[in-house]
Structure formats: structure tokens, C-alpha cells
Chain A
Amino acid sequence: MSPFLFWIFALLTLIFGAAVVINRNPVASALSLVVSFLGLAALFMSLNAYFIGIIQVLVYAGAVMVLFLFIVMLLDLRAEEARRINWLASAGGLAVTLILLGQIFSVISNLKFAHNPFPRLAGSTIDDVRNIGAVLFRNYNLPFQIVGVLVLVATIGVVLLSKREPR
């Protein structure tokens, strides 16, 4: 992938990711999150992970975001009014974030192999879905079934949680 496209999609992801946090209106935040996830899906595709990119678009930009928007509109959340900001807590949160960012940068700059180029793949088109499926069902069969049970439990939990209590 050309560096130009990489930086466009990286900036798209980061700017709209920041917009999620900055926007006061929850609907605007949710829509920014969609754009951020789409940029991230493009980055996955630039790493030749086509299956993961498509899953990202389908599950995140599709299902999860519909869920978020549905809840935002169901609860009819307006842009939150400006409350009295606890400056001390905000400054503390910002300081912890900046320390974390500095830590991440220092770790990455100390990685010896971080400046090596990516190795070449066997071909320009690799059989992505087939290979992931093979690894998933051969080596990770039990975790796959456990995740299935987890999704079932989550479904039952959601139904139970949103059931109205009889009074």
C-alpha cells in the first residue's frame, strides 16, 4: 500500500476517533465512530487481512453501530448541557492519558525491528478466508465453541436485563 493512502486512512481513523470523544452530541459521536471504524477496516485491508477488514465493516460499522444509534435514539439523549467541570479530575485524566501515550511511544521507539519493512507474501492474492478457517477449526476449535456459548449467554442476559419487572 502506498504511504499516501496509509496516512490518509490513518488520519481518518484518528481524527474521527478523537471526534467521538470531543463531540457533545451522542448521535454525532456514534456517526464519527462509524467513519473511524471504516478507516480502520481500510488499514486492515492494507495489511492483507481482507477477512478481518470485511468482518470489521460488517460487525462494527454495521451491527454494533446500529445498536449504538438505536439506543441513543431510544433514550432520546440530547447534547448534554455544559455541567460544572471538575477541573482537577479532568486534569488528572488527561495527565494519565499523556503518560500512557509517552510510554507507548517510548516502547515503540525502542523496538529494534520496528523499522524493518514488512516481509513479502507468497502472492498478491492469498486465500485469506480459507486459511483463517483452517486455523480456526483445527487449532482453536474449543475456544470457538466457547465463544459460541458466550454469545448465547449474552443473548439470554440481554433478554433478561431488558425485561420489565412485573410490579
Chain B
Amino acid sequence: MITLGDYLIVSGILFAIGFAGVMLRRNLIIILMSLELMLNAANLSLVAFSRFRVDPTGLPDYNAQVFVFFIITVAAAEVAVGLAILVALYRARQTTDVNDISSLRF
């Protein structure tokens, strides 16, 4: 029997994988992909809670699914802007490695 906890554990591991990607990788594109993984992990737990909270008429809680819809929209906009910044950066510096982009480092 699959319970809510199983979905939450999968979501938690997926979030940790994305977090590790942001922490460990130095390539900006991979960092953006890891951000997407973290957003999706949040989506999975939201949908699992939505399915868990069934109202008396037997329908899942659609507020959470609408929230997931908004997250997907904002994530798509974020990816577009992030990749545009990446292209502009690559044009200026010919690199996507975060170690080479340290003008603002203290």
C-alpha cells in the first residue's frame, strides 16, 4: 500500500538531489537544471497533499493543484530569463563556469 509518506520521501530525496546539484556543480546550465529539479520536488509533495486531503464530496483539494500550475508557469518564465542571462554572459565572457565569474566576490 503506497502512503503519503512514500510520496513525501521521494519528493524529499529529489529535492536533496537538486540541492546537491546547486551546491556541487560549477556549470551554470547544470545549476539551472538542478533548480528545476527542486521546484518539481515541491510540486510532487503539493500534489500528494492535494490527493490526501479529500473533501466530503470525494474531490481532491484543488487549491494545491492550482498552486502547482502557478509554480510551473513561474518556473518556465524563470528558465527563459535565466538562459537569456546565461547567453548574454557567455557572449561577454565565453564561459559558463561559476568559478570564472567572480567579479562580485568579496
B-contacting residues of A (Cβ < 8 Å)?
A: 1, 3, 6, 10, 13-14, 17-18, 20-21, 26, 29-30, 33, 36-37, 40, 43-44, 47-49, 51-52, 55-56, 59-60, 63-64, 67-68, 71-72, 74-75, 77, 80, 83, 90, 93-94, 96-97, 100-101, 104-105, 108-109, 111, 113-123, 126, 131-132, 134-136, 139-140, 143, 147, 150-151, 154-155, 157-158, 161-162, 164
Tell me if B77 and A154 are in contact (CB < 8 A): yes
Contact residues of B between 24 and 67, Cβ < 8 Å to A: 24-27, 29-30, 32-34, 36-37, 40, 43-44, 47-48, 50-52, 54, 57-60, 62-63, 65-66
Tell me if A104 and B12 are in contact (CB < 8 A): yes
B contact patch SS: helix
Given contacts A26-B27, A67-B79, A121-B58, contact A3 B37 (CB under 8 A): no
Interface size class of B (residues with CB under 8 A): 35 or more
Tell me if A104 and B76 are in contact (CB < 8 A): no
Inter-chain contacts of A118 with B (CB < 8 A): 2-4, 51-52, 54
Inter-chain contacts of A116 with B (CB < 8 A): 3-4, 52
Given contacts A14-B14, A60-B72, contact A121 B37 (CB under 8 A): no
Kindly state the separation between the CA atoms of A140 and B47 in the bound complex, as whole angstroms: 18
Cβ-based interface call for B83 (8 A): yes
What would be 29 A-B contacts, judged by CB atoms less than 8 Å apart?
Answer: A3-B1, A3-B2, A13-B10, A21-B30, A26-B30, A40-B14, A47-B51, A49-B50, A49-B68, A55-B69, A55-B72, A64-B76, A68-B33, A72-B29, A75-B86, A77-B29, A96-B19, A114-B8, A115-B4, A116-B3, A119-B52, A119-B54, A122-B59, A132-B62, A135-B63, A143-B70, A157-B84, A161-B81, A162-B88
